[in-house]
Structure 1
Amino acid sequence: MGRATGSWLSGPQIGPEGGGGAYRGEDLGLPETGPGSLAGGWLRVLGLMVDWLLAGGVSLLFVSFSSPNIGTTVLGVWFVLGVVAVSLFGFTPGQFAVGLRVARVDHGPARTEAEVTGEVPVAAVGIVRALARQVLIVFLVPALINDYNGRALHDRATGTALVRSR
């Protein structure tokens, strides 16, 4: 009886055809550990916290702390900071501080020698992907839902992944 109920209580098994890889990111052509591997959830949260604190400090240059518009100003500064930094450099200041970067992974499995050796993919994210990614993060729900690789929906929708840079 336990086996029969376990099949529907466990929920659907979501993953790539063929049962997935041996580790997170294998089907994306990313290494298991080290530079270029998928970032864990706590590193992503830490990078986001650093970015929010930085955006809060910068927003105090525009409005006072007691202003009723402080929250909107922080969100606007964080949004612009994220779009500009990711499109130009491939990471936000918070992601850089914790050793992460946004990389394109829509090219399929690793094909070049640099990707096979585990180096961080260097394809530019671009302004359109950075803007779409930041818009989806603002709604927070896509960032909380992860796929079988641990990538959030905003990364999956834009063909990107947050990977370790060191």
Structure 2
Amino acid sequence: MGYPGERLGLPREGSGAVAGFGRRIGAILVDWLISTWAIAQGVFQVSTQDASWVGMAVFAGAYVLLVGTLGMTLGMRLFRIRIAALDGSQPNLLSVLVRTFLLCLAVPALIWDRDQRGLHDRAAGTVAVRL
């Protein structure tokens, strides 16, 4: 059976290894809290009722901008992970857009393969790896 990422040519441990579930959940929670509370409610001062859709829009916009340019969001940086194309390079804009759209739908991100890649990663040709 092997370890997560072995079929992709990734190391078992350390930098470049597949990021585990805990790191990924922690990163997305930080990003969601920043998007919803700090930006949507703090900066834009939207009501609690509108915070969910404004927060999602802020989350998606920040995600595309940051992952598209840096390969990681603030939450990912805190949890020491980044998003990479399967060859280890920075994912292209189309991959980031596909991944972000599917991540915002939530369900594709919750269905994983044995390499711990969600459907959003598989569709985008990306993988979350440790820094």
Fold-level similarity (TM above 0.5)? yes
- Matched letter for residue 128 of structure 1: L
Distance 2:106 2:54 in 1: 17
Is the radius of gyration larger for structure 1 or structure 2?
1
Q: Which residue of 2 aligns with 1:10?
A: none
Q: Which residue of 1 aligns with 2:22?
A: 42
Q: Give how far 1:63 is off.
A: 2.6
- Matched letter for residue 157 of structure 1: A
- Note closer, same or farther for the CA distance 1:67–1:26 as it changes in structure 2 (3 Å cut): closer
TM score, norm. by length of structure 2: 0.93
Is this contact kept in 2: 1:43–1:98, CA < 8 A?
Answer: yes
- Verify: 1:160 aligned to 2:106, yes or no: no
Q: Deviations over 1:5-29 (max 9, x none)?
A: xxxxxxxxxxxxxxx5x21111101
Aligned mate of 2:74, from 72, 76, 93: 93
TM score, norm. by length of structure 1: 0.74
Is this contact kept in 2: 1:63–1:69, CA < 8 A?
Answer: no
- Verify: 1:62 aligned to 2:28, yes or no: no
Q: Give how far 1:67 is off.
A: 4.3
Number of paired residues?
129
Q: Which residue of 2 aligns with 1:83?
A: 64
Is this contact kept in 2: 1:51–1:94, CA < 8 A?
Answer: yes
Q: Deviations over 1:94-120 (max 9, x none)?
A: 001100000111x4xxxxxxxxxxxxx
Structural RMSD (CA)? 1.2
Is this contact kept in 2: 1:88–1:126, CA < 8 A?
Answer: no
- Verify: 1:33 aligned to 2:10, yes or no: no
Aligned with 2:49: secondary structure?
Answer: coil
Aligned with 1:24: secondary structure?
Answer: coil
Q: Which is richer in helix?
A: 2
Q: Which residue of 1 aligns with 2:93?
A: 127
